Amino acid sequence: MLARWSMTNPCFWLNPFRLYITTLLLFAHCTTCTVKNRLIDTIVIVIFCSTNFMQSKWILCTISPAVLLNQHQIANSPSEAKHFSLPMFKKILIANRGEIALRVIRTCKEMGIKTVAVYSTADRESLHVRFADEAVCIGPPQSAKSYLNRSHIMAAAEITNADAIHPGYGFLAENASFAEICTDYNIKFIGPTAEMIRLMGDKITAKTTVRNAGVPVIPGSDGLVNDLPEGKSIAKEIGYPVILKATAGGGGKGMRIVWSDKDFEPNWEAARKEALAAFGNDGIYIEKFIEEPRHIEIQVAGDQYGKVCHLSERDCSIQRRHQKLVEEAPSPFVDEKLRQKMGKAAIKVADAIQYEGLGTIEFLVDKYKNFYFMEMNTRIQVEHPVTEEVMDFDLVKEQIKIAAGVPISGRSYIPNGHAIECRINAEDPHNGFRPSAGKIGELHTPKGHGVRVDTHIYAGYTVPPYYDSLLAKVICRAATRDEAITKMSRALDEFFITGIKTTIPFHRQLMKNQQFREGNFNTSFLESFSF
Residues 280 and 313 in one domain: no
From 272, 339, 379, 477, the catalytic residue? 379
Of 255, 273, 288, the residue that ends a domain is: 288
Residues 369 and 486 in one domain: yes
| Averaged confidence pLDDT in the chain | 86
Residues 278 and 393 in one domain: no
Of residues 487 and 63, more confidence is placed in 487
Q: Judge whether 443 lies within some domain.
A: yes
CA separation (Å) from 383 to 103, 281, 520? 12, 28, 21
Q: What is the DSSP string of 20-36?
A: EEEEEEEEEEEEEEEET
Residues 230 and 357 in one domain: no
> Into how many domains does the chain fold?
3
Tens-place pLDDT, residues 129-161: 999 999 999 999 999 999 999 999 999 999 999
379 is catalytic: yes
Residues 6+ apart with CB under 8 A from 5: 45, 61, 62, 63
Residues 383 and 430 in one domain: yes
Residues 6+ apart with CB under 8 A from 216: 345, 370, 371, 372, 373
Q: Judge whether 444 lies within some domain.
A: yes
Of 39, 63, 87, the residue that ends a domain is: 63
Residues 483 and 513 in one domain: yes
Q: Length of the chain, please?
A: 531
Residues 498 and 462 in one domain: yes
Domain range for 277: 219-288
48 band by pLDDT with thresholds 50, 70 and 90: very low
Residues 10 and 37 in one domain: yes
Q: Judge whether 123 lies within some domain.
A: no
Q: Judge whether 96 lies within some domain.
A: no
Q: Judge whether 140 lies within some domain.
A: no
Q: In angstroms, rounded to a whole number, what is the distance separating the alpha carbons of residues 170 and 148?
A: 10
Tens-place pLDDT, residues 350-391: 999 999 999 999 999 999 999 999 999 999 999 999 999 999
Helix axes of 98-110 and 395-403: crossing angle, nearest 10 degrees: 70
Q: Judge whether 44 lies within some domain.
A: yes
Mean pLDDT check: name the lowest of 55-69, 270-284, 441-455, 502-516: 55-69
- Report the CATH number that the domain containing residue 457 is assigned in CATH: 3.30.470.20
Over residues 440-451, the mean pLDDT reads: 98
Q: Judge whether 515 lies within some domain.
A: yes
Residues 496 and 367 in one domain: yes
Q: Where are the alpha helices (DSSP H) in 161-263?
A: 176-184, 194-201, 203-212, 228-238
- Report the CATH number that the domain containing residue 257 is assigned in CATH: 3.30.1490.20
Residues 312 and 284 in one domain: no
Residues 409 and 432 in one domain: yes
Of 255, 288, 321, the residue that ends a domain is: 288
Q: Judge whether 438 lies within some domain.
A: yes
Residues 232 and 356 in one domain: no
User: Is the C-alpha dihedral spanning 75, 80, 85, 88 positive or negative?
Assistant: negative
